Chain A
């Protein structure tokens, strides 16, 4: 029996590789990281016409084998068979954008020279035709010496033909690249060859893509363009809060009903308390934020799939240049509003190492969705729901200020870092602006499903176990009659030690207690406050009343404001630190990140607390 053959999709950025990958594998994909680097490895299964399965891998888009970014390095090493822990592919499917044929043929020649069995998916032939470009696949196959299959991945056209062509590929004779005599071909020679091959394949050509040029004239207009971008970002953040709330209310009601059902069906005792106070109250308070994460990622995925994200980078380049970064940093930073982890991983497309490092260091300052639970609860409890004038709600205004504080903090940090620890030449900005494309619902749905799954897995593992450990630490040792349970517990004892350190910035013992497990994930702060007050609640009525009245009774306003200021800056998330360690290959930069962010958090929480006291709040 033959082992499963491994087929790699290779091509330039924006050739439609991911769409082809999605079309061929459907939901049967596995996303993991390549060993040693955090470049995402997307692999999936597809079936050949004979029924035999193949393993497909989607390699990062690349302009050539001379890699300049960590992303392109993965493609280079896998194609050359130099990647430890990743076998060389048996077959390469070169994905070429039919409408950009001449450009894409430069890299294509380089891949074909490697001698692996190769076939070409001439993708997006429909868009090429819309642009007035008719191609002859037979002539192209003749010129390149490999089979060519026209495809339209997003419309699932040509997929069966492509799979049949993969099946027809003869297994390679043993290839040893060192044995083959490859003369050194220069880039201009390749480009000339690409020009000639493209000319041979183009049957007719007329006009240029008027639609795209027209859209760009509007969306990249020096004044209108940025206004459209800011309007879009405004709508995006509005949507995250407004559209999500019915779903969040439903999830909250579901958790309450579940807790109620457990209480009424189970006998009172240890297990029942564990389920209601520990599991449901802890994990439930985090899962509630799934709708917001889905909405935020939906916007980001649509912006990416439509080609607008590169325009956003173009428009933001000038602002980013002001703090020593480039427009390329905008995409990772925007993703960091959902979560710093995909944000930090997205920095791998930044070629300049100093730029990339700076972006990684400031990414945690973007207000990620994990901070929302904390902000939402504290604002709900302490900021009155009244108007601040001009129809703007005071609660929304405070939330906006918190986001702004994070952004301004990040910009200031970038400015200082680029002049000190990450000093270097001013970074450049070179980026292809891909053609506009209608995003396909299916691709967006697959992306959303993957992001939601990662979030839920996190809630189900890290947050679940941390909540349980905290509940156990809070429940044992048992308090003597008349003594407060939290005071007596192991967690309470630990928090007393930490409370001494955070007292000067207005934090009480309960906050100290919440800060420890919040290192696992920020949103656990809410879960642990909920668990703490649920455990210390003297009767069931108090527990059932929920977290907000408890907070109002136990915290002063300056303390609440200081707590918010702390969360703007504090690097309260071990997963982010772990990703930063992998991305920077060592502990030096994550340690630096922890130190400077904690210092900022402590100082700003202190300033907030003492200013609020001085103002008599």
Chain B
């Protein structure tokens, strides 16, 4: 089964293997690439949700923390990395 970034638990790390760009608005895709979220990037789930809801989420990439929506994360296929690989 293919895993997407959306289902990555908090504190876990993963490598993005593919991004369905057609599911994102063009400028959103551009904005994600600008902050380094692209195929091959390694990210860690830092925060999920507010007030019991599951949106928005925040991932760390390198030394940056990026907030995004679950809808974006659902377009990103990942392969999980070993835990603690921060």
Contact = CB atoms under 8 A, between A and B. Distances in A.
Contacts of B31: 63, 68, 351, 430
Given A63-B34, A314-B58, A223 B64 contact: no
B34 to A, nearest CB: 4
Nearest to A424: B25
20 contacts: A66-B30, A99-B63, A100-B62, A188-B40, A213-B46, A216-B58, A222-B51, A222-B52, A223-B52, A226-B51, A314-B47, A315-B50, A317-B56, A317-B67, A317-B69, A428-B69, A429-B69, A430-B67, A432-B65, A432-B66
A222 B40 CA distance: 29
Nearest to B86: A208
The residue among B38, B50, B53, B86 with the most chain A CB atoms within 10 A of its own CB is B50
A66 B26 CA distance: 12
A358 B70 CA distance: 23
A128 B71 CA distance: 33
Top 7 nearest A-B pairs (CB, nearest first) are A63-B34, A433-B65, A317-B56, A68-B27, A431-B67, A220-B47, A428-B28
B63 A208 contact: yes
Interface of B: 24-25, 27-28, 30-36, 38, 40, 46-53, 55-56, 58, 62-69, 71-72, 86
B38 A317 contact: no
A209 B69 CA distance: 24
B36 A314 contact: no
B51 A223 contact: yes
A426 B38 CA distance: 22
Given A187-B38, A188-B38, A102 B62 contact: yes
Given A428-B28, A428-B68, A318 B63 contact: no
A225 interface: yes
Nearest to B27: A68
A319 B51 CA distance: 9
A428 B67 contact: no
Contact of B35 (A63, A188, A212): A63
B35 A318 contact: no
B72 A428 contact: yes
A109 B16 CA distance: 24
Interface string A62-80: 0110101000000000000
Interface of A: 63-64, 66, 68, 99-100, 102-103, 106, 131, 187-188, 191, 208-209, 212-213, 216, 220, 222-223, 225-226, 310, 313-315, 317-319, 321, 327, 351-352, 425-426, 428-433, 435
Contact of A225 (B46, B50, B63): B50
B69 to A, nearest CB: 5
Contacts of B46: 213, 216, 220
B50 A430 contact: no
A428 B66 CA distance: 13
A584 to B, nearest CB: 19
A319 B50 CA distance: 9
A318 B53 contact: yes
Contacts of A435: 63
A331 B74 CA distance: 27
A187 B33 contact: yes
Nearest to A107: B34
A188 B36 CA distance: 9
A315 B52 CA distance: 12
B55 to A, nearest CB: 5
A431 B25 CA distance: 15
A226 B50 contact: yes
Contacts of B63: 99-100, 103, 131, 208-209, 435
B40 to A, nearest CB: 8
Given A216-B65, A430-B67, A432-B64, A106 B32 contact: no
A430 B32 CA distance: 7
A103 B55 contact: no
Contacts of A317: 50, 55-56, 67, 69
The residue among B65, B71, B86 with the most chain A CB atoms within 10 A of its own CB is B65
B67 A314 contact: yes
Nearest to B34: A63
Contacts of A429: 56, 67-69
A354 B65 CA distance: 26
B59 to A, nearest CB: 10
A293 B46 CA distance: 36
B51 A318 contact: yes
